[in-house]
Amino acid sequence: MTDPIRVLVADDQPLLRGSFRVLVDTAPGLTAVGEAGSGAEAVESAYRLRPDVVLMDIRMPGMDGIEATQRIAHAPETADTRVLILTTFDLDEYVYGALRAGAAGFLLKDTSPDVLLAGIRTVAAGESLLAPSVTRRLIAEFARLPRAHPVSGSSLECLTKREREVLLLVARGLSNTDIAEYLRLSHGTVKTHIGRLLSKLRARDRAQLVISAYESGLVSAALTPERRVQPESGEPGSGEPGSGGLL
């Protein structure tokens, strides 16, 4: 029998925190292992409990959720813990700050219970997740920037042509299945390319691959939704990449 996904709930509002815990505990395959009412408590609890996923609020007293995410995402004790930001605010600075800190996903608190539970399972499985409205705004904001500023360790010179194509589609919000269909590759081949991208770009997850793609200049204002990625000769893609929330 598969072990349940272990979830830590961090929110400064006791009623919400308790509601999320009940929702998690009553869902098949999930279990709540603890609660935290502040960022500092979330970090301490994550180090002690080693959850698979932390549901993290952003606005909390003292240490906020972004700093707590940074500490959890980069600590050896919680290397396998994924952080899913859950907040009432979808302001751009929160999205960028959370993703750069190492968050695996970002959902709004008005998300339906089914979507939230699916989001927990998604990030626990190693994928990254953004609410569709946040994905569109994130892409639009990065595309608006006049020039890109490469981040440390994210040079794309080491990538092959195919890896650049895959990275571009990841940055456009496509899942592995979508990328495989678009480039007419097997799902296993796409997973191999994603693994190599994570290793070469020293990225924790797909969300950080998106940041690398935009900040390195691979994706810029020159690429509009109407312009298609041109697959390598002999392996033409079909269709136009979408902008779904799963990364």
CATH number of domain containing 31: 3.40.50.2300
Residues 80 and 170 reside in one and the same domain: no
> At which of 97, 126, 155 does a domain end?
126
Position 12 scores a pLDDT of 93
Report the percentage of the chain scoring pLDDT > 90.
41
Report the percentage of the chain scoring pLDDT > 70.
74
Bridge-based pairing of strands 105-108 and 30-36 is unpaired
Please give the residue range of the domain that contains residue 10: 5-126
Task: Quote the CA–CA distance of 32 and 149 in Å, as a whole number.
Answer: 40
Position 244 scores a pLDDT of 40
Alpha carbon 25 to its chain centroid, in Å, reads 23
Alpha carbon 75 to its chain centroid, in Å, reads 18
> At which of 80, 95, 126 does a domain end?
126
Position 8 scores a pLDDT of 97
For 43-57, what is the mean pLDDT? 96
- pLDDT, tens digit (0-9, with 9 covering 90-100), for 55-102: 999 889 889 999 999 999 989 999 899 999 988 766 656 777 777 788
Domain total of the chain: 2
Does any domain span residue 134? no
**In contact, 111 and 131? CB cutoff 8 Å:** yes
Position 153 scores a pLDDT of 41
Task: Quote the CA–CA distance of 240 and 151 in Å, as a whole number.
Answer: 29
Does any domain span residue 131? no
Distances (CA, A) of 56 to 72, 77, 105, 153, 169: 11, 18, 10, 27, 28
Position 133 scores a pLDDT of 55
Position 111 scores a pLDDT of 85
What helix, strand, coil percent values describe the chain, rounded to 5?
45, 10, 40
Residues 151 and 111 reside in one and the same domain: no
Residues 59 and 99 reside in one and the same domain: yes
Residues 111 and 176 reside in one and the same domain: no
Position 154 scores a pLDDT of 45
Residue 167 has pLDDT above 60, yes or no: yes
- pLDDT, tens digit (0-9, with 9 covering 90-100), for 198-240: 889 887 777 778 778 877 777 653 343 333 444 443 443 434 3
Tokens matching residue 119: 């989001």
Residues 115 and 150 reside in one and the same domain: no
pTM, two decimal places: 0.67
Does any domain span residue 140? no
Position 109 scores a pLDDT of 84
Weakest mean pLDDT among 90-104, 153-167, 169-183: 90-104
Residue 246 has pLDDT above 50, yes or no: no
- pLDDT, tens digit (0-9, with 9 covering 90-100), for 114-137: 989 998 998 898 776 765 555 555
- Mean per-residue pLDDT over the chain, rounded: 79
Position 7 scores a pLDDT of 98
